[in-house]
Amino acid sequence: MKSSLTLKLDPFLTALIATVTLASLLPVHGAGAPVVAGVSYFAVMLLFFLHGAKLSRDAILNGIRAWPIHVAVILASFVMFPLFGIALRALAGTWLNPTIGAGLVLLAIMPSTVQSSIAFTSLAGGNVPAAVCSASASSLIGVVVTPLLAALLLAGNGGVSLDSISGIALQLLVPFIVGHLCRPLLLGLLTRHKSLLTMVDRGVILLVVYSAFSAAVVEGLWHRYSAVDLLWTFAFCAVLLTLALVSTTTAARLLRFSKEDEITVVFCGSKKSLVSGVPMASAMFPPALVGPMILPLMLFHQLQLMACAVLARRYARRPATELTDAVPAAAG
């Protein structure tokens, strides 16, 4: 277990960097741009259809008893994080380009991850059934709440307005619901081809990133944003992650959660989903804005993996006596 918690560059992040590099050197433009944008639009619909189909009702029902954990994770994802994002955006106004500053808020309103939250909870010895339920609930709620928060907090950035919510629902929420309703028909296929579905997930994200950064490069992305902007973005993402980890840990201990439940709250409540976030951003904002606005999310993705690897190792090494050092808040 411990040997699997290594600090290394996420291969998917390497692919993202390569995609951004390709879009910077060979951006799609002219007649090809609408074609790529159209393909990306329907690819995002496919992605959310598959997300809906993969959502297990059994996992939700099995973990439903741990409702204090779920409430804590949802509040962390959609209340705590947005407040931190708004504060950091205001603070970052002196150093960051306003579009990237808006990207900090966009990062903060995204739902939690599913796969890595569950994996790190398991490696650290946390409450895995509750993690499955909490992370899945955050992902599901995010399909609705994230666009609404974007409309309220980022309407002035050329993106979401309350009038455009119906279009976002058509692209994201409807395929998600239809996919979930089709789950009984697709369960065998989903089980047999898990690796293929992961490739589809990542392929769609890379396509959306290429389309977004192509449009941004054509609009002069790298003339407006410097290496200094990237360094400041990295720094503010690190601050945001630190605030999230400290706050979720402190809250879990103040609420006297058991160590297993604390682990679940920390790993599910401090993460943000790149898999859901990039397609959501493409649905909510004009292509030329998506590139710079997802930079914080891309950097945060790698930061959270490295930080959680270290944290999971520390939790996994805790003394056995800590397993019962608190009142299990989710019992019964």
Question: What is the predicted pLDDT for the residue at 241?
Answer: 97
1 in a structural domain: no
**Does residue 322 lie in a domain region?**
no
- Tell me how far apart the terminal alpha carbons of the chain are, to the nearest angstrom: 30
Predicted pLDDT of residue 263: 95
327 found inside a domain: no
Domain count across the chain:
1
> What is the structure's pLDDT at 160?
60
Check residue 320 and give its pLDDT.
55
Residue 48, in any domain of the structure? yes
| Residue 301 included in any domain | yes
Specify if 328 maps to a domain: no
* Mean pLDDT, the chain cut into blocks of 10 residues (332 residues total): 49 81 86 85 85 72 75 95 94 80 93 85 87 84 89 72 67 83 86 80 83 79 77 92 97 94 95 87 82 88 87 81 43 34
Q: What is the pTM of this model?
A: 0.77
Contact 221, 67 (CB under 8 A): no
CATH of the domain at 54: 1.20.1530.20
Asked whether residue 241 is domain-assigned, the answer is yes
Q: What is the pLDDT of residue 324?
A: 45
Range of the domain at 227: 13-315
* 69 in a structural domain: yes
